[in-house]
Amino acid sequence: MRTAFTDLVGTTQPLVGFSRSPGVVAEVSRAGGLGVLAATAYRPDELDAQLTWIEQRTGGAPYGVDLLVPAGTSDAATDQRRRIPQQHWDFVAELLARHDLDPARLRAAPGADSTAHAIAPGGVDELLDVTFAHPVALVANALGPPPPSMVERAHAVGVVVAALVGRREHAERQLAAGVDVLVAQGTEAGGHTGSIATMVLTPEIVALADDVPVLAAGGIASGEQLAAALALGAAGAWCGSVWLATREDITPDPVKRKLLAAGSHGTVRSRTRTGKPARQLRSAWHDAWEAPGAPEPLAMPLQVLLAKDAWAVIDGAAAAGHAGAQELESFFVGQVVGGLAELRPTADVVAGMLADCATRLRALAGLVDVPTG
Amino acid sequence: MRTAFTDLVGTTQPLVGFSRSPGVVAEVSRAGGLGVLAATAYRPDELDAQLTWIEQRTGGAPYGVDLLVPAGTSDAATDQRRRIPQQHWDFVAELLARHDLDPARLRAAPGADSTAHAIAPGGVDELLDVTFAHPVALVANALGPPPPSMVERAHAVGVVVAALVGRREHAERQLAAGVDVLVAQGTEAGGHTGSIATMVLTPEIVALADDVPVLAAGGIASGEQLAAALALGAAGAWCGSVWLATREDITPDPVKRKLLAAGSHGTVRSRTRTGKPARQLRSAWHDAWEAPGAPEPLAMPLQVLLAKDAWAVIDGAAAAGHAGAQELESFFVGQVVGGLAELRPTADVVAGMLADCATRLRALAGLVDVPTG
């Protein structure tokens, strides 16, 4: 299926596979879509190795990289971590203890370092250096408008810049910043997301974007949902959650089991994992932060560091079968989680979505050609 | 466009116009869709007069009626009103006073009576008597499964029973109750609604409904959004908010002006107007109920009565140009409010949606027939 987006990035299909798993990224690109690596948790040398691995797998098919470049972060990582109030450390320590996890391991946890590096300004520049040294087709900035340097560097080497938007005003700022693709992300999406649903947001962003292609994100994990995105005027779909149910995804098994068992009502849009509203699987973690007396979540990046340290404890124990850790376990996922029931090869997911989309679009064409009396 | 829904109810188009405005209902049915009157605020004699008027306008075209039949309400209306705590009367009185409205008018307001009648069990039976004495094609129950007597009476006279559902478990209960049409209502919808978006909920309900037709509701106010609903597997769309921007709609002008000016982020899903989560235009009313020290909203029907009494004061003053009342003014509306910009004839809205839907479906068919390399 050829659209303004496929023409721009050089793919054969209007489907983006956004994932932190390099294997998913490679398989989506091999199958005709555009794999986009969520690269916020990598050090520069790790990112370089992952991009090299992806290129070896895809044999020249286009792929992309998503970075997190927040505005206004100026502290070094170690300073940021010291700014977390004692009340918040105590709250999380008590929460872990209530679930029979050792709170003493919290401050000793190694989870925060690479993230703190990536979201510090110096770290981002290094990640951009690595990114632009590779033949990427697209770079995206996960939160807010990309800095001018990112847009200039991308355009200088012919790389398409994409940006996620949750409402009209975001899109206006992104267009002013010079982005080439807008991703209209509905509230049903996993991760950082706004309050407006994909069904409403997509045509609104399409209407103001003129000739800038718009992808729909949020609520898209099947061919029928891809067809709906195209019906809304999108030039393709940006999918994230659906890949969590693939064999190539690196999410730990205890999380995957919870994802496959969850219903579509099992998510919550919460500030408790990053400091900004992000949709994730609801667990005992979220119940605790909503209980009377719980502190307000901190701003980004402090809440990221606090939650990362907690998750270093939770993930390790959950992997060993610890019941309390499994109650707390969670991950970023959209409302499509209710439709994820088994692990499949990424290539099969892509092929199935494209085939089902084509079948549905042909059936709908028959609907308008039939006389209706 | 012929679907399983149009075959069932005898319309030529898979579009429902749900409205409290009899003029909208009649015009939607005249234009080939199914007008459905929201009849919760009528006394039996008023409902009889409105249905007679609709039939005279539509000349035999199918139409429907939506009633509110809650389970478990047993008090008489006057007793219900006495159960509202003094704290809540005081809170609303102070809120009105802060907006320069006379709080003494609150308890004297006439707004609650017809609603209290409609949601009392005896009142519902009378409304059903009136409804089934008219040649309605469809009855719907706005909240929860219809009582067995409603389904039996409808089926005995060949009337289709529809029910709104916000998640899988609701749909299972409605199917067990014998309903003939499920309306999958996404969180972006106006009025009482759940948390799952239309994009996710619709295919989930379609998958479990077998041969029971499913309509999509929430986020649908254009032909492209109707096309998306059909792509998701719906047999049509159930639209409510879009009719608020028609000439036939009876919503007071001060509310209409706010609706036409609002953006898609301007709604809130709140318990403060009925006691159950309902999406509505955010105003100073909602800000006040979310402020520290505000009481928790009451359960239905007590919060309905409290808010109705307040709105009798607010509507009257807002119509006279009172600034404080205009700040508080609000109405039930979905996120599509951001796309409502001017008042149009209902017939034009229907014709435009159907034409745009057909155009989009034909364009999408071209997408899958073009070789993609």
Taking contacts as CB-CB distances below 8 angstroms, the residues of chain A near B218 are 197, 199
Percent of chain B with pLDDT over 70: 92
Q: What count of Cα atoms within 13 Å lies in the side-chain half-sphere of residue A257?
A: 9
Q: Which of A1, A225, A368 sits opposite B367 (nearest CB)?
A: A1
Q: DSSP string spanning A101-125?
A: --GGGSTT--TTHHHHHHTSHHHHH
Write out pLDDT tens, residues B24-34. 999 999 999 99
In this predicted structure, the answer to whether residue B111 has a pLDDT above a threshold of 60 is: no
Average pLDDT over residues B188-207: 98
The partner residue sitting opposite B367, judged by closest CB among A228, A265, A361, is A361
Q: Burial letters for A258-289: b for 16+ Cβ neighbours within 10 Å, e otherwise? A: bbeebebbbbbbbbbbbbbbbbbbbbbbbebb
* Confidence band of A319 (pLDDT split at 50, 70, 90): very high
What pLDDT, on a 0 to 100 scale, did the predictor assign at position A184?
Answer: 98
Q: What is the average per-residue pLDDT within B96-111? A: 81
Q: Is the pLDDT of residue A95 over 80?
A: yes
pLDDT band at A74 (very low <50, low <70, confident <90, very high): very low
User: Is the predicted pLDDT of residue A75 greater than 80, yes or no?
Assistant: no
Find out whether the peptide bond into A203 is cis, omega within 30 degrees of 0.
no
Please, are residues B8 and B239 in contact by the beta-carbon 8 Å criterion?
no
pLDDT digits (tens, 9 = 90+) for A153-167: 999 999 999 999 999
Distance from CA of A373 to the nearest CA of B (A): 7
Tell me what the mean pLDDT of segment B319-344 comes to: 97
Express each pLDDT in A11-32 by its tens digit.
999 999 999 999 999 999 999 9
User: Could you tell me if A265 lies within 8 Å of chain B, comparing CB atoms?
Assistant: yes
Grade residue B146 by pLDDT with cuts at 50, 70 and 90. Answer: confident
**CB neighbours of residue B290 within 10 Å:** 12
Contact indicator for B288, B273 with CB cutoff of 8 Å: no
Average pLDDT for A172-194? 97
The reported pLDDT for the residue numbered B248 is 98
Whether residue B20 is predicted with pLDDT greater than 80 in this model: the reply is: yes
Spatial neighbors of B280 by CB under 8 A, at least 6 apart, are B190, B191, B267, B268, B270, B273, B286, B330, B331, B332, B333
Span B298-324, average pLDDT: 94
Residues 6+ apart with CB under 8 A from B86: none
The DSSP bridge partners found for residue A222 are none
Average pLDDT over residues B129-140: 96
Question: Does B171 score more than 90 pLDDT?
Answer: yes
Q: Which residues contact B296 (CB under 8 A, 6 or more apart)?
A: none
Share of chain A above pLDDT 70, in %: 92
Give pLDDT, residue A371: 43
Banded pLDDT at A373 (limits 50, 70, 90): very low
Considering the four listed CATH numbers 3.40.50.700, 3.40.190.150, 3.20.20.70, 3.40.50.2000, the one that applies to the domain covering B4-369 is 3.20.20.70
Average pLDDT, chain B: 92
pLDDT (0 to 100) of residue A108:
64
Query: What confidence category does residue B77 fall into, taking pLDDT thresholds of 50, 70 and 90?
Result: low
Confidence check: pLDDT of A299 > 50: yes
Q: Do B1 and A232 touch (CB under 8 A)?
A: no
Q: Which residues pair with A184 in a beta bridge?
A: A165, A216
Which residue of chain A comes nearest to B204, CA vs CA? Answer: A339
Tell me whether B319 touches chain A (CB under 8 Å).
Answer: no
For A221, which residue in chain B has the nearest alpha carbon? B200
Domain ranges for chain A, please list them. Answer: 1-73+119-249, 90-111+250-342
- Name the CATH code of domain A1-73+119-249 (choices 3.20.20.70, 3.40.190.10, 3.90.550.10, 3.40.50.300): 3.20.20.70
Residue A115 predicted with pLDDT over 60: no
Per-residue pLDDT tens over the stretch B254-282: 999 999 999 999 999 999 999 999 999 99
pLDDT tens-digit series, residues A241-262 = 999 999 999 999 999 999 999 9
How many angstroms separate the CA atoms of A205 and B339, rounded? 11
Is the pLDDT assigned to residue A98 strictly greater than 80?
Answer: yes
| Average pLDDT of chain A to the nearest whole number | 92
Mean pLDDT value across residues A346-353: 98
Helix (H) or strand (E) holding B299: none
In angstroms, rounded to a whole number, what is the distance separating the alpha carbons of residues B257 and B251?
10
Confidence class for position A208, pLDDT limits 50, 70, 90: very high
Residue in B220, B222, B364 nearest the CB of A364: B364
Q: Which of A199, A220, A270 to mutate to probe the B interface, most B CBs <10 Å?
A: A199
Task: Name the one residue in this structure whose structure tokens are 């008027």.
Answer: B53
